[in-house]
Amino acid sequence: MTVQTARSGGLAIAYEVLGEPDGEPLLLVMGLGAQMVGWPDGFCTELVARGFRVVRFDNRDVGLSTHLDGPVPKRAWSRVPATYTLSDMAGDAVAVMDAVGWPAAHVVGASLGGMIAQLLAVEHPDRVLSLTSVMSKPAPQIGRMRARTTIALVRRAKRLAEEHGRPTTPEAMADFMAAMQEVTGSPAYPADREDHLEMLRVAMGRDDQGVTGPGAKRQGAAERVARDLRAELASVQVPTLVVHGDSDVVIRPVGGEATAAAVPGARLVVHPGMGHELPRALWPRIADDIRAVAGAARTRGTAASPRGRGAPGTPRSARSAG
């Protein structure tokens, strides 16, 4: 797939376009420290098969997008001034839509990308046809990782570093990710090392800093100073889907519940046994739900009039059968 570049102020934002030119526009926003290839090719294929033209992009400071200079927090809780804000990152997403020529799009964000997607719906409402927030939250303090989970991850990372050193190859990083996902992954859907390895061979060739690099840490600082969006989300009028796993320990399910409660008419889908990831087995179900929320926008005339704003979406709560 050909990588193209959008301009966001003085930054270059790398993006890819997948699917047929006449597909419905769908923008994917990835999470903290992850590149656009963090959206699995197979999941993107599921979306394309459901009639979408999909755009995924590297957030600023990772992948092939511009890497910035600025203070690098040594720890997640370090009081280092943020180099930029999540609103700036939402502006990058708008720049990508401008480059593609989309007046508006269905927007899907995962984790930190979900917070950015929510900001798009609040700050750029005319650019959002429908909103899907996956394993995310409306405010930094909601659903944050418990101390015992943080301790478990730190201890595991320290032990792996002592035993194997810093992972510098896709194979070593795949082993590291598999070990960490024993804490953060999906109990009902064991991680596939080969899936990790396939993605990492691409990702590490594009940016070897990974999810612990300075860019990821600056993104984390932007997340730390983000504002609570719950009051503002009450003004969102496009159909909204919230997806979460009941086993997510990185952003606990209360984060998804708070997002769904804040958006009028939002539909909450909770997948039993899903952690902080997109398990392969759930790709078709999640893609179906994204198709459904996009269909609700089209039914209300939103897709036919990209700068219009639809009525509230589908019923608030649903639980997957798992």
Note the pLDDT tens digit of each residue in 66-80: 999 888 876 655 677
Is the pLDDT assigned to residue 53 strictly greater than 80?
yes
> How confident is the model at residue 123, as a pLDDT?
98
Q: Which of 150, 142, 170, 172 is nearest to 160 (CA)?
A: 172
Q: Please tell me the least confidently modeled range out of 92-101, 205-214, 272-281.
A: 205-214
Instruction: Give me the helix-helix angle, 193-206 and 170-184, nearest 10°.
Output: 120
Name the pTM for this structure.
0.90
Q: 103-150 pLDDT, tens per residue?
A: 999 999 999 999 999 999 999 999 999 999 999 999 999 999 999 999
31 domain-assigned: yes
Q: Is residue 157 part of a domain?
A: no
Residue 155 lies in a domain: no
pLDDT of res. 191 = 81
More confident residue, 58 or 171: 58
Confidence grade of residue 211 (pLDDT, cut at 50, 70, 90): low
In the numeric block, which tokens belong to residue 167?
A: 């992972």
Give the domain extent around 84.
4-143+209-319
> Which CATH number characterizes residue 217's domain?
3.40.50.1820
Q: Please give the residue that has the higher pLDDT: either 86 or 199.
A: 86
Packing angle of the helix pair 41-49, 283-299 (nearest 10 deg)? 40
Mean pLDDT, range 233-259, rounded to an integer: 98
Total count of domains within the chain:
1
CA angle 137, 140, 144 (to 5 degrees): 75
Per-residue pLDDT at 315 exceeds 70: no
In a domain, 70, yes or no: yes
% of the chain beyond a pLDDT of 70:
89
Task: With respect to residue 96, please indicate whether it lies within any of the assigned structural domains.
Answer: yes
**Whole-number pLDDT of residue 72:** 83
Is 164 within the bounds of a domain? no
More confident residue, 313 or 156: 156
pLDDT of residue 168: 84
Q: What's residue 165's pLDDT?
A: 85
Taking residues 51-63, report their average pLDDT: 97
| Positive or negative torsion for Cα 35, 122, 230, 244 | negative
In the sheet where 240-245 sits, what is the strand order? 4-8, 11-18, 52-57, 24-29, 105-110, 128-134, 240-245, 267-271, 317-319
Cβ(133)–Cβ(239) below 8 Å: no
Element (H, E) at 24: strand 24-29
Residue 77 pLDDT: 57
Give the mean model confidence (pLDDT) for residues 249-259.
98
Q: Which H/E stretch holds residue 271?
A: strand 267-271
pLDDT score at 213: 85
Report if residue 181 sits inside a domain: no
Residue closest to 133 by CA, chosen among 217, 236, 59: 236
Domain assignment present for 201? no
What 3-state DSSP class applies to 4? strand
Predicted confidence at residue 277, as pLDDT, reads 95
Task: Give the model confidence (pLDDT) of 267-309 as tens digits.
Answer: 999 999 999 999 999 999 999 999 999 999 988 764 444 433 3
